[in-house]
Structure 1
Amino acid sequence: MDLSTVWWLVTGGLIAAELITGTFYLLMLSVGAAASALAAHADLSLTWQIVVGAIVGGLSVTLWHLKKARTQQPTESSRNQDVHLDLGEVVQVLVWDELGLAQVKHRGAQWTAQLAPGQVPGAGAFRITEMAGNRLIVEKI
């Protein structure tokens, strides 16, 4: 079997693995394997095929990682709705104490609610905007 055929099979295997796992890095490594296959078609030695594949694959992975790290915005977990599914939910507050805290019923349990900065205490409906430990930070609707 020709070396280029082996490299194309490796490329296909990496693409199949990427489709199964959803790891984009495997796709970048398959680009390196395809470069090795092209090097084999150019009649380069096995050593140079491996070097070309390693450089192209490694560079592809590095560039993808840098691009992904640059575009990913760190989000504060206390305000991230993917972390706290209660954000945006509405609770009813009957009375606030002198510390700006209230006891509210949410999802069948008692919670301590705290006013968001700049909010005025009063009875009524409040929206959960943040989680601070086991406290619900709320603002008036």
Structure 2
Amino acid sequence: MSDSTLWWLLAGSAIALELFTGTFYLLMLAVGMAAAALAAHAGAGTAVQLVCAAVVGSAAVVGWYAIKKRNPASPSVRSMRSVNLDVGEIIQVDEWRSDGSATVKYRGAQWSVLQRPGNDPVPGAYRVTELVGNRLLVEKV
């Protein structure tokens, strides 16, 4: 079996493993293996192929990490109105407990309410921003 065939099989295995695990970084390593396969097709020696796989795979991983780090994370699904119809609703909090929580009557039931960090616990109207378990996370209107 030729070196290029071995590299292509390794790249395909990394892609298949990525499909099972969901680790996108395995795809970046597969890119490095594909680069080594191309180097083997070009007639490079084993050492050059290994260096090519290591350099290209590592550069792809570092590049992808930098791109993910630079872009802000997408909002939590729990804070999307299309997923949870309580998000955006206004509730009235009459009294906050010393631990920063409150209990309110909302939609005919008692709900635990938590406040977003950095807000003062004062009674009044609050907007639901997120559902955390069975608690409403709110911010002052």
Same fold, judged at TM 0.5 (above):
yes
Are the counterparts in 2 of residues 128 and 139 from structure 1 also a CA contact under 8 Å? no
Structure 2, unpaired ranges of 5+: none
Distance 1:67 1:57, change over 3 A: same
Residue 112 of structure 2 aligns to a residue whose secondary structure is strand
Tell me by how many angstroms 1:62 deviates: 0.5
Tell me by how many angstroms 1:112 deviates: 5.4
TM-score (norm 2): 0.65
Whole-angstrom CA distance in 2 between matches of 1:109 and 1:127: 16
Q: Deviations over 1:29-60 (max 9, x none)?
A: 11100111111111111111000110001001
Instruction: Please show how residues 125-140 of structure 1 align to structure 2 within 5 Å.
Output: 127-129=127-129, 136-137=137-138, 139=140
Tell me by how many angstroms 1:105 deviates: 2.9
Distance 1:89 1:34, change over 3 A: same
Larger Rg, first or second structure (1 or 2): 1
Instruction: Please show how residues 4-15 of structure 1 align to structure 2 within 5 Å.
Output: 4-15=4-15
Distance 1:103 1:6, change over 3 A: closer
Tell me by how many angstroms 1:86 deviates: 8.9
TM-score (norm 1): 0.65
Are the counterparts in 2 of residues 36 and 52 from structure 1 also a CA contact under 8 Å? yes
Distance 1:135 1:16, change over 3 A: closer
Amino acid aligned to 1:96:
D
Q: Which residue of 2 aligns with 1:65?
A: 65
Residue 72 of structure 1 aligns to a residue whose secondary structure is coil
User: Is residue 2:33 matched to residue 1:33?
Assistant: yes
